[in-house]
Amino acid sequence: MHPRIAAAALMLIASLSTASAQEIPKGEYKIDPQHTQIVFGIKHMGLSTFYGTAGEVTGTLIADPATPAKSTLDVTVDLTKVYTHVDKLTGELRDDVFKTAKFPTANFKITNISTTDNKTGTVTGDLTLRGITKPVTLNVTFNGGRAVTAPQPMHRLGFDASTTIKRSDFALTDFAWSAFVGDEVTLLIEAEFQK
């Protein structure tokens, strides 16, 4: 339903092309799972929006600010850790919706980066969820980069992104309460990378 894009979210590198080399030094970055989350929202009977979080997000960004087209991003979302505040629903999402026994993860790989200015842009990539791959485009904001010294010297980058996807695009419709929730799923992504 929701997290699929999760992986996608992390395509936040859309702003690489115009960000300064000081903010984004060239090189390899890893997603920091402790400071990265994907929140999904879906309408319930058209009356309210239900929110939850996707599972743990991991991945690697190869950043090339001078030539953004050469940058790569490969993200994996552990769907066995999808979570909502309703225990029964959390179990149904893992077992019946995402079928994590067979498809434990979702994956996102970028295919295109387009910038609006030095802080915003779009990232398009291929999202694979439950064995189905579809293109997904994220609206991305680059929040900046900075060198940190503790607990060890490294450079960190921060992004947020959003998108709306359709669960029907990924065949996420074969569960008991499918008719009671909307087809569109909003994804809100916050991500930090560390070099």
pLDDT at 127: 97
Q: Please report which confidence band the pLDDT of residue 4 belongs to, taking 50, 70 and 90 as the band edges.
A: very low
Query: What value does the mean pLDDT of the chain take?
Result: 87
Q: Tell me how many domains the chain contains.
A: 1
Residue 96 has pLDDT above 60, yes or no: yes
Q: How many CB atoms lie within 10 A of CB 127?
A: 28
Name the more confident of 152 and 187.
Answer: 187
Residue 57 has pLDDT above 90, yes or no: yes
Radius of gyration (Cα) for the chain, nearest Å? 17
User: 177 is written with which tokens?
Assistant: 């309460």
User: Of the given ranges (20-34, 80-94, 170-184), which has the lowest mean pLDDT?
Assistant: 20-34
Average pLDDT over residues 164-181: 95
CATH number of the domain that 68 lies in?
2.40.128.110
The helix/strand/coil state of 170 is helix
Name the more confident of 15 and 110.
Answer: 110
pTM for the full model?
A: 0.84
Domain hosting residue 36, numbered range: 4-194
